[in-house]
Amino acid sequence: MKLRTLGYFVRQAWYSMWRNAWLSLAAMASVAVSLFILGAFLLLAFNVENIARTLQSNVEIAVFLKVETPRQKAIATGEAIRKLPGVTAVDFIPKEEGLRILSQQLGNEHDLLGALGGVNPLPDLFRVRVSDPAEIQTLAAAIASLPEVEKVNYGQAVVERLLQVIRWLRWLGAGLILMLGLGALFLVILTIRLAIYSRRREISIMKYVGATDWFIRWPFLLEGLFLGLAGAGIAGFFLYAGYNFLVQQVRLALVFVPLVTDASLIQMSIWGLVAGGAFIGIAGTYFSMRRFLRV
Amino acid sequence: MIQFFNVSKIYSPNIIALDDVSIKIDKGEFVFLVGPSGAGKTTFIRLLLREELPSRGQILIGGRSISRLRPREIPFLRRNIGVVFQDFRLLPDRTVAENVAFALEVLEMPRREIKPRVEKALARVGLTARAHFFPHQLSGGEQQRAAIARAIVNNPHILVADEPTGNLDPAIAREIMNIFLEINRMGTTVIIATHAWNIVNSLRKRVIALERGRLVRDDREGVYGYEA
Ligand SMILES: Nc1ncnc2c1ncn2[C@@H]1O[C@H](COP(=O)(O)OP(=O)(O)OP(=O)(O)O)[C@@H](O)[C@H]1O
Ligand SMILES: [Mg+2]
C-alpha cells in the first residue's frame, strides 16, 4: 500500500466517522463503557486475589489439643507436627501460658483461675507456620488426623470466602462484559453499516471503475478501528485516573488493605483494553462488510 | 474482441433473461443493442462487466474467459471497460473534475498523472468550461458528458452504455451520440443499449436485437426495427 493511499484511507475513515457523528459517538461511548467495566473487573479481581494471597501467607495453623491430653503426649504431638513436610515453625503454648495470656487480656488483678474453680479449661495449643500457603489445607488436614488433636483452625473461613468472591466476581464480570461487549459490537456494526450506506454511490462507482475490494474495504476497517481505539482510550483514561485516586484514598484511610500498585499490571490491563477496543472495532466492521458490502 | 458462446442467463426461479446468445464483437466496433423492454439488454451488459455470471455458456474478452476470473481479478477487467448509465451516477458533493478524477484516484494513480488525464477527458466531451461546477449546476446533457468523461478517463478498450440518452431530449441525445461516435473513432469498442430509434436508424451502425432473451437480429448497418 502506498503512503498516499494510506492517507486517503485515513481521511475517508475520518470524514465518514464525522458524517454520522452522533452514532459514532454512541458507538465509542458504548465501547468505552464496556471496556471500562472490563478493566474495573480485572483490577478488582487482581486486588481480591492479592488480598487473599496476603492473608493466606500470613495465616498460621492453630492446633488445639484435647483438654485432657497429658503434657508428654502433647510434646510428642508437637514433634510429629514439626516433622511434617512444609512446616517451618511450631510454637508450643501450654494451657498455663494460654490462661496467663487470657487473664492478662482481662486485667491482671483478676483471679481467673479462682473464678474458674481452680480448673484450667483451656487446651494446649500449637501455632504452626508453613512454607507454602497453598499447602495449608492439606497440612491442616494431616494435623487434624493426629490422635491428640481436637481441632485445627487456619482462618480458612476468610480465605475460602475470598476465593468464593473471586469466583463469583469472575462470573458476574464475564456475564456483564459479554452483554456490554455485544452491545458495543452491535453499535459498531450499526455505525459502519450506516457509513457503508451513506457511501453506497461511491462504492458502486468504485466497483465499476475497477477499484480493488481491499481499496474499498480499508476505510471502513480503519473507521471501525478508530471507534474501538477511541473507546479504549476513553476507558483507559478513566480507569487509570480512577484507580490512582482510589489507591490514594485507600492508602490514607485503610492502610491495611494491600491494593495492587504494580505498574506493569495496570499497564497490562490498559493494553488489554486497547486490544479489546481494536477487536470490537474490527469485528464489528467485519460483520458489517460481510453483510452490506458484497464487493 | 468480445465473444459470447451460447450464453444463457436464468434468474431464479425461472426468468430467462438471456437465452443461448452467441455473438462476436470485434475490437473498435460500434454496436447498438436494441429490443423491447425486458429483452435482456441490461443483463447483457451486466454479464459483460462480470456483475453476474452466465448460467450457461462462455464469455471471452480478449480471448480470456471472464467466468474463470478470480474475484481478485475482476477489478482489473473493469478497468478496461468504461460504463455509462441512464441516470449518470455522478457524486453530488464533488465537482465535475473531481468526479472524473475519482475514477483514477481509486486506482491509486499518482496525482500528477491524474490531472492531465482529467483535462483531456473533459476536453473530449466538451466540458472543459464546466470542470469546477457541481452536478446540480449542470444540465442533464452536461451531466451525461461528465459521466462519459469519467468512463473514458482511464482509456478503456471498451465503452458500454445502458440507455445513455434515456433521460435526455432528442437534440441533446444526438450530441451525446456524437461523443460516443467520436470516442469510437479513436479506436474504442462502443456498445450502446438504447431505445432511441431515430438515432439508430440514422447512424446505420451494427444493430444487435434481442427479444425475450433471444438474439433475433444482427445487422451490419441496421435499423431499430421496432414500433417506437
Ligand atoms: N436481478 C434480477 N432478478 C430477476 N430477474 C431479473 C433480474 N434482472 C433482470 N431480470 C429479468 O430479466 C429480464 C431481462 O431484463 P433486462 O433488465 O436485461 O431487460 P432490458 O432489455 O434491459 O429492459 P429495459 O429496456 O426495460 O431496460 C426481465 O424479464 C427482468 O425482469
Ligand atoms: Mg435495461
Sequence-distant (6+) residues with CB within 8 A of B78 are A207, A208, A209, A210, B49, B50
ipTM, two decimals, is 0.93
pLDDT at residue A292, rounded to an integer: 63
- Stretch 97-116 of chain B: residues touching chain A, C-beta under 8 Å: 102-103, 105-108, 110-111
Q: What does the block give as the cell for A84?
A: 511434617
Confidence bin at A164 (pLDDT 50/70/90): confident
> Which residues on adjacent β-strands are paired with residue A125?
A64, A93
pLDDT at residue B39, rounded to an integer: 95
Residues with CB under 6 Å of ligand 1 are B 11, 15, 17, 35, 37-43
**Domain end marker among A154, A179, A201:** A154
* Chosen from A6, A9, A198, A208 to mutate, greatest number of chain B CBs within 10 A: A208
Residues A287 and A213 in one domain: yes
pLDDT at residue B228, rounded to an integer: 55
Residues A72 and A164 in one domain: no
What is the C-alpha separation between A125 and A74, in angstroms, rounded? 9
Q: What pLDDT digit, counting tens, does each position of B155-210 carry?
A: 999 999 999 999 999 999 999 999 999 999 999 999 999 999 999 999 999 999 99
> Which residues on adjacent β-strands are paired with residue A62?
A127, A153
Ion ligand 2, residue ranges at CB < 5 A: B 42
CATH of the domain at A128: 3.30.70.3040
Nearest-CA residue for ligand 1 atom 5 is B11
Q: What does the block give as the cell for A232?
A: 479504549
Q: What pLDDT digit, counting tens, does each position of A208-235 carry?
A: 999 998 899 999 999 999 999 999 999 9
What is the C-alpha separation between B4 and B65, in angstroms, rounded? 10
Residues A92 and A146 in one domain: yes
pLDDT at residue A109, rounded to an integer: 62
Residues A142 and A166 in one domain: no
Residues A217 and A146 in one domain: no
**Domain end marker among A130, A154, A178:** A154
Residues A190 and A252 in one domain: yes
Q: Could you give the maximum distance between any two Cα atoms of chain B, in Å?
A: 51
Residues spanned by the domain of A74: 60-154
> Which residues on adjacent β-strands are paired with residue B58?
B5
Number of domains forming the structure of chain A: 2
H-helix or E-strand spanning residue A89: strand A87-93
Residue of chain B minimizing CA distance to A219: B106
Residues A175 and A73 in one domain: no
User: Residue B39 CA: which ligand is closest?
Assistant: 1
Judge whether residue B30 has pLDDT over 90: yes
Q: Are B83 and B50 in contact (CB under 8 A)?
A: no
Q: Would you call A208 helix, strand, or coil by DSSP?
A: helix
Q: Are A90 and A126 in contact (CB under 8 A)?
A: yes
Instruction: Quote the mean pLDDT of chain A.
Output: 83
- Stretch 34-93 of chain A: residues touching chain B, C-beta under 8 Å: none
Q: What does the block give as the cell for A109?
A: 488483678
Judge whether residue A263 has pLDDT over 80: no
What is the C-alpha separation between B30 and B22, in angstroms, rounded? 18
Check if B91 contacts A (Cβ < 8 Å): yes
Query: Nearest Cβ partner of A209 from B72, B103, B111?
Result: B103
pLDDT at residue A156, rounded to an integer: 66
Residues A9 and A45 in one domain: yes
> Which residues on adjacent β-strands are paired with residue A90?
A128
The residue ranking higher by pLDDT, A136 or B19, is B19
Side chain identity, residue A279: F
Judge whether residue B84 has pLDDT over 60: yes
Question: Per-domain residue ranges for chain B?
Answer: 2-219
Q: Are strands B158-162 and B2-11 parallel, antiparallel or unpaired?
A: unpaired
Residues A95 and A141 in one domain: yes
Check if A198 contacts B (Cβ < 8 Å): no
User: DSSP label at B50?
Assistant: T
Residues A260 and A136 in one domain: no
**Domain end marker among A154, A178, A199:** A154
What is the C-alpha separation between A127 and A153, in angstroms, rounded? 10
Bond into B13 cis (ω within 30): yes
Q: What pLDDT digit, counting tens, does each position of A166-194 carry?
A: 788 778 878 888 888 888 888 888 888 88
Range B2-219 has CATH code 3.40.50.300: yes
User: DSSP label at B58?
Assistant: E
Range scoring the smallest mean pLDDT among A148-152, A236-240, B73-77: A148-152
What is the C-alpha separation between A173 and A42, in angstroms, rounded? 8
